[in-house]
Structure 1
C-alpha cells in the first residue's frame, strides 16, 4: 500500500484532514450542553459525556497539524511563502487551542465539589492575562486564520479550487457562531462544511501522486 516514505506522509496528511473535522463534529454532538440553555452544572452532571467531547475536540485540533504540514509541503510555486508563514501560524495556534480543552475537566470537578457561584468565580479568576494573551488568543486566532491562509496558499498554487479556502472560511465562521450562541444546528453545520472541503482535499492528497518533490 505504501511503496515509499512519501506515500506514507501523503496518506498521513490526507487522513488527518479527514479525521480532524470528523472529530470536531463528534465532539460537538457529544457535548451535553443543551442548545440555548446555559447551565453551569451540566458538565458536573455529565462527566462521561464531557470527557468524551473534550477529548474529541482536543484531537480535532491536534489532527489538523499533520494535515496542515502536508499541505504546506505540497505548495511549491505560487503561494509557497504564504503557505510557510500560514503553516507556522496554524500549527502554533492549533497546538495552543487543543490545550484549552483541558479546562472542561476542571469544570467537572469544580462544579461537582463547590457551590456553583464559587466554582464560577474560580474559573473566571483562572483567566489570567497571561493565559488569555499567550494561550487563548493565539490559539483561536492562529488556528482559524492559519487554516484559512493555508487553504488560500494551497488554492493559489493550483492544488485545489477556490472553493477550498471559501469553504474553510464559511465552515469556521458558521461553527464559531453556532458554538458561541449555543445553536446546535450551526455548531454541527460548520464542521460538516469543514469535513466536506478538507475531506475532499484529504482524499485528493491520498490518491494523487506528489508531483513537485524537492530533490534530497
Structure 2
C-alpha cells in the first residue's frame, strides 16, 4: 500500500475520518473532568493516569482531524454524480472548500497545542489548594504569548472550518445534508455549553457523521478515488476540463 499513492491516500483519509472523532469520544469518556469536580486541578488530581490519557487522546484526535481535512478537500474537487466523480467543482465551491479546509487545519493544530496545559493543571492541583491552583493556571493561560500564539483566534477557527468543509463536500454531492448538520452540532455546541456528561452525547455525533464518510471512502475503491483528481491532458490534446480552464 505504501508504494501506491492512490491506495495510501484513500485508506489514510477514510481511516482518519473514522479514527479522529472516535479518539475524541473516547477521551471524553475517560476524562476525570467529565464526571468529577468542575475544577480540573481537582478532578485531574483524583486520577492522574486518566488525566494524562485523555490529554493524549484529545491531542491526537485534533491533530488527526487536521490531516483528515485533506481527504475532505479531495472530495470537494469535483461534483459527485450517481456515485462517481463528474465535472470539476465551480469557483464558489472551491473557495468554500479552501476556506473551510484552511480554517480546519490551522484551528485543530492550534487546539491540540492547548492540551499541554493539562499536566500543568494536574501539577498545580497536587501542590496547591484548589482556589490557588486555579488562579495559577489562569495566570499561565493569560500570558500574551499563550493567548495570541495559541488561543485567539487560532484555536477556535477549526470549529467553524470543519462544518464549512463538510458543507462544501455536501454541495459537491458526495454526502447528504445531515453530515454537515451533525458535524456542526457535534463540534460547535460542546464549546458553548458547560463541559461535563452532556459532552459525551455531543461528541458521539461526529463519530457517526464523519465515520459514515470514512466508511464510504474506504469502500469506494482506488479508481473512484483517483477520478476526483484534476484531469491532466496529453500534450496537444484538449479535454473538457482544459477547455473550461482556458475559457473561464
Q: TM-score, normalised by structure 2?
A: 0.79
Kindly state the Cα deviation for residue 201 of structure 1 after the two structures are TM-superposed: 0.6
1:123 to 137, 142, 145: 137
Cα offset, 1:55, TM superposition: 0.6
Answer yes or no: is 1:188 the counterpart of 2:200: yes
The number of residues matched between the two structures is 213
Higher CA-based Rg = 2
CA gap of 1:212–1:34, structure 2 versus 1, over 3 A, is closer
Q: Which runs of 5+ in 1 are unaligned?
A: none
User: Does the C-alpha gap of structure 1 residues 50 and 139 become closer, same or farther in structure 2, counting only changes over 3 Å?
Assistant: farther
Q: Give the Cα–Cα distance (whole angstroms) in 1 for the partners of residues 147 and 175 of structure 2.
A: 35
Tell me which of 132, 143, 159 is aligned to 1:144: 159
Distance 1:93 1:182 in 2: 20
What CA deviation, in whole Å up to 9, does each residue of 1:85-119 have, x standing for no partner? 21111100000000101111111111112333332
- The 3-state SS of whatever aligns with 1:214 is coil
Stretch deviating more after TM superposition (15-24 or 105-114): 105-114
- Aligned equivalents of 2:188 and 2:115: distance in 1? 20
How much has 1:190 moved relative to structure 2?
A: 1.1
* CA RMSD in angstroms, aligned pairs only: 2.0
Partner of 1:72: 73
Give the whole-Å Cα distance in 1 for the aligned partners of 2:129 and 2:191: 30
1:32/1:49 contact within 8 Å kept: yes
Deviates more, 1:4-13 or 1:106-115: 106-115
Residue 165 of structure 2 corresponds to residue 164 of structure 1: no
CA distance in 2, matches of 1:204, 1:55: 28
TM normalised by structure 1 equals 0.90
The equivalent of 1:29 in structure 2 is: 29
1:1-27 C-alpha deviation (Å, 9 max, x unpaired): 678311110110111010111111110
